Amino acid sequence: MAILFSYKSATHDLKHSIYESCLLLTMTATIFLFTSCSSVQPTQITEKQQMTTRMGETSAVDVLDMRSVLRNNLLTAQVSVKNRGPSPDAKTGEVQPDTKLYGYRFKWLDTNGMVVFTDEAWKPLTLTRDQSADLVGVAPTPDATAFRFEINQYK
Amino acid sequence: MKTYSFACVVAGLLLAGCASAPIPSNPVSQASVPPPPPPPTIVKYGDSQSVETVTADFGSTDLQSVAETMVRSMLQSKTIQNSRSAPLVTLAEVNNQTNEPINTRLITQKVRTQLLKSGQVKFAISGNEMQSQVDELKRQNQTGMYRNDGVAKTAKMEGAKYRITGTISTIVKRNRELKDVFYNFTLNLVNNETGVIEWAEEKEIRKTVLN
């Protein structure tokens, strides 16, 4: 009887240790999986980035804020930008000139994402280092329900 | 007579001799160095909406930005937005108070086109275009060549409730290093019946030229 009890106890211990090992293994694998998932996850594209089209060297200009409101039946958009200054030249290390000439415009879309008006003219914008500007655009027609912001650099 | 003929022959010979006489001063060099070919002409299309900075004079970017600012502002005005139906407007003159020969009709026509495209405003024919309207009505009504049922009748034109007037002016300053041009463009919407200016907007542009 005592032998049978000790056999049962030993079997139980063995099962318990196997169960514990399995649990540990599963947890480790889960942690590894989560870690690997987080490491390969692409950087989040913000809504501001999605709504901004950049052309040419405009990396020094940060889009700080974007908002729109329906004013007198027309969509009015406001984009706040700031020139944080160009970084030094990667190859030579030369400091780039602060003042840059940019052009910007708004693109107006309807509920289906179709452009509702002909392209706007590029409007010149001069920004020195650390200068910010609130750029306001008014939709040309009440059909416009969304907007995109486009910025480029001109010589 | 003989003397006259002889003189003519001699003169002819002399002239002929002169014509054949020129000898290139350096024929070898002329033969070996052909005249340089003219520079190749490069033609390309550009972006009509891009920023144009060829000179400090009033340019396409100024025209486009002025028209855009004016149109968007006018469309947002209470005069336009509170109208039950699209109000009837006409173009008056934009007074050019600059020293530049600016085609101000180009500005007003661009404003008119964009306002019409918005569907918020209707335009009556302007004073400058009235003659063509009169000519067309005369052609249809007085030539006797049109059926009566299809003829555009006279005395049916609609008078505009508002008119658009404006002014463009500049302040130009210069020294040895630079030239600064400051444009100020103002547009007004005047009620034709009451004479009240119901809306006004201005656009300022500064352009600097470094010598």
What are φ and ψ of residue B187, in 5° steps?
Answer: -130, 140
CA distance A48 to chain B (A): 24
Tokens of B136: 């067309």
* Cα distance between residue B203 and residue B63, in whole Å: 11
Instruction: Please report the pLDDT score of residue B145 as a whole number.
Output: 93
The count of domains in chain B is 1
SS3 annotation, B110-172: HHHHHHHHHCCCEECCCHHHHHHHHHHHHHHHHCCCCCHHHCCCCCCCCCCCEEEEEEEEEEE
> Can you tell me the mean pLDDT for B169-195?
96
Helix, strand, or coil here: B150? Answer: helix
Q: How many CB pairs under 8 A join A and B?
A: 57
B49 contacts on A by Cβ (under 8 Å): 105, 119-122
* Cα distance between residue B151 and residue B123, in whole Å: 22
Q: Is A53 on the interface with B (CB under 8 A)?
A: no
Instruction: Please report the pLDDT score of residue B32 as a whole number.
Output: 78
Instruction: Please report the pLDDT score of residue A8 as a whole number.
Output: 55
**Pairwise CB contact (< 8 Å): B61 & A122:** yes
Show the low-confidence residues of chain A (pLDDT under 70).
1-18, 22-24, 28-43, 155
Helix, strand, or coil here: A89? Answer: coil
Q: What percent of chain B has pLDDT over 90?
A: 75
**pLDDT band (50, 70, 90) for residue B16:** low
Whether pLDDT at B126 is above 80: yes
In a domain, B181, yes or no: yes
Report the complex ipTM.
Answer: 0.73
Whether pLDDT at B64 is above 90: yes
B60-76 vs B104-118: helix crossing angle, rounded to 10: 40
Nearest to A147 by CA among A80, A78, A82: A78
In a domain, B183, yes or no: yes
Instruction: Please report the pLDDT score of residue B185 as a whole number.
Output: 97
Which residue of B lies nearest to A116 if distances are taken between CA atoms?
Answer: B118
In a domain, B20, yes or no: no
Q: Nearest by CB to B114, from A71, A74, A140: name it.
A: A140
Whether pLDDT at B205 is above 70: yes
In a domain, B197, yes or no: yes
**pLDDT band (50, 70, 90) for residue B196:** very high
**Residue range(s) defining the domain that contains residue B73:** 60-143+152-210
Residue that the structure tokens 């650390």 belong to: A130
Stated pTM of the model = 0.74
Q: A154: exposed, middle or buried (C-beta count within 10 Å: 0-12, 13-18, 19+)?
A: middle
* Cα distance between residue B77 and residue B88, in whole Å: 15
Nearest to A98 by CA among A110, A86, A80: A86
A101 contacts on B by Cβ (under 8 Å): 51
What number of CA atoms fall less than 13 Å from residue A56's CA on the CB side?
Answer: 12
Nearest to A103 by CA among B187, B30, B51: B51
Instruction: Please report the pLDDT score of residue A6 as a whole number.
Output: 54
Whether pLDDT at B3 is above 60: no
In a domain, B190, yes or no: yes
Instruction: Please report the pLDDT score of residue A44 as a whole number.
Output: 75
Q: Identify residue A79 by its one-letter amino acid code.
A: V
Range from A22-36, B1-15, B86-100 carrying the lowest mean pLDDT: B1-15
For residue B96, the domain's CATH number is: 3.40.50.10610
Q: Is B72 on the interface with A (CB under 8 A)?
A: yes
> Can you tell me the mean pLDDT for B127-136?
94
**pLDDT tens by residue, A134-153:** 999 999 999 999 999 999 98
> Can you tell me the mean pLDDT for B77-103?
93
Q: Is A7 on the interface with B (CB under 8 A)?
A: no
Helix, strand, or coil here: A155? Answer: coil
Q: Is A73 on the interface with B (CB under 8 A)?
A: yes
Instruction: Please report the pLDDT score of residue A100 as a whole number.
Output: 79
Instruction: Please report the pLDDT score of residue A34 as a whole number.
Output: 55
